[in-house]
Amino acid sequence: MAISEDGKKRLDRKVNQVSAVLLPLLEVGGIAYTSYVLVYLVCVQYLMKPSPGFGLEARNATGVTLIVIYCVILLGFAVTFLRLLQVIWVDPGLVSRGDPASEKKTAPMDYFDRFEAYICDHEGYPTWCWDCHNWKPDRAHHSSQLNRCVKRMDHFCPYAGGMIAERSHKFFVQFCFYGFLYTGYVLIVMAVFLAERAEKLDSTPGTWVAATALGGIFFLFAFGMFCTTCYNMALNYTTIEALQRDGTYNIAVLKTAAPSATIASAGKANIVYEFERPPLRSYVVLETERGQNPWDRGALRNVKDIMGESVWHWFSWKMSPCTAHNDPRGEYIWGPAVSRLIEEHGAASARRRRRRGSRRSSEA
């Protein structure tokens, strides 16, 4: 029996949802197994209480120190993982659905009226989601796994338990950081004592080899993920935006919300369209240069927008500053390139032009 397109989507969604529960459970199982091998078999049995047949001296200080460091890193990892799961399950940044009867050409656009600029198509419409029947805020994408649009969507990560987006991104970075710290520590401790045991006792127990291999594989994975995530974060790209980094953006810039203003931007660079939205608003649609990221404000500022203002915040449970949405100029704070365009074409520039015009007429 053939499965319909909708059926395939539903099946796909189910598979993703199940893997986002199963993989974290498997990870917890892996951590429990590694803890048993590293803490009990290596630290307690091999270092602190070696069998008399081994002919080795007890190394209590080494064993205790290794266990304490292991517990501290594991605690950081576990707490971070719980916070990440909590945000992913409660709300990673979901956009509300629209009325199923609403259409792109007639749907109200009040949401965008509070901004001086927003991402749009070549006619000045914000991006429409045909599945959610609603506008997509800047940087939002439709997730086929959640069947919802998600703000500043990055990717769906079944290893982390679900959607990495505006609200969960910071905790995902923390999760990757503790993940590579934890797996790196396991890898080093296991590799050192496995090599020592092989040399002194000519034995390599399967449990030790398995824990070393697990540490190695997941270290490579977590470290790679951490580096990629930090690199994109420093450039202020989501994973989706990084894949489309050579493209351009159309940005609708509010010229004025006053009825009498004249439109005087013809002939300026980057303009693809001009339009008015009754009763009062007039806009100019500008195209960014190829490869220009509208939200890039410099590496440190970009990192702080996600992680927090101070290093203390980077490790805390506090939400990312970018979730505050308190800038009247846009959904997210624009980078200097777009700020210049707003200055040049937007309402402030129209007010300056009007002031200059009225000065000239009063002098005449």
Two tokens, residue 77: 């990892």
Check: CB of residue 42 under 8 Å from CB of residue 190.
Answer: yes
Distance CA 24, CA 17 (A): 12
Residue 140 interacts with Zn ion (CB under 5 A)?
A: no
Q: What angle do CA 25, 35, 204 make, to 5 degrees?
A: 115
Check: CB of residue 345 under 8 Å from CB of residue 253.
Answer: yes
Specify the DSSP class assigned to residue 47: I
Determine the interface stretch with Zn ion among 18-26, 144-152, 161-169, 197-205 (rule: CB under 5 A). Answer: 144-152
Q: Which of 179, 173, 176 is nearest to 233 (CA)?
A: 173
Residue 142 interacts with Zn ion (CB under 5 A)?
A: yes
Residue 329 C-beta: closest distance to Zn ion, Å = 25
The DSSP annotation for 176-210 comes to HHHHHHHHHHHHHHHHHHHHHHHHHT----HHHHH
Determine the interface stretch with Zn ion among 62-70, 148-156, 198-206, 326-334 (rule: CB under 5 A). Answer: 148-156
Residue 131 interacts with Zn ion (CB under 5 A)?
A: yes
Check: CB of residue 254 under 8 Å from CB of residue 346.
Answer: yes
- Total residues found in the chain within this entry: 364
Check: CB of residue 306 under 8 Å from CB of residue 320.
Answer: yes
Task: Give the x-and-dash track for 72-111 against Zn ion (CB under 5 A).
Answer: ----------------------------------------
Residue 149 interacts with Zn ion (CB under 5 A)?
A: yes
Closer CB to Zn ion, residue 113 or residue 131?
Answer: 131
Residue 116 C-beta: closest distance to Zn ion, Å = 25
- Counting residues that bind Zn ion (by CB under 5 A) gives 5
With H, G, I as helix, E, B as strand and everything else as coil, classify residue 353: helix
Residue 131 C-beta: closest distance to Zn ion, Å = 5
Determine the interface stretch with Zn ion among 15-23, 106-114, 124-132, 255-263 (rule: CB under 5 A). Answer: 124-132
Residue 149 C-beta: closest distance to Zn ion, Å = 3
Specify the DSSP class assigned to residue 140: -
Two tokens, residue 151: 């703000």
Query: Of residues 47, 132, 254, 347, which one binds Zn ion by CB under 5 A?
Result: 132
Closer CB to Zn ion, residue 148 or residue 297?
Answer: 148
Query: Of residues 20, 43, 129, 214, which one binds Zn ion by CB under 5 A?
Result: 129
Question: Which positions touch Zn ion (CB under 5 A)?
Answer: 129, 131-132, 142, 149
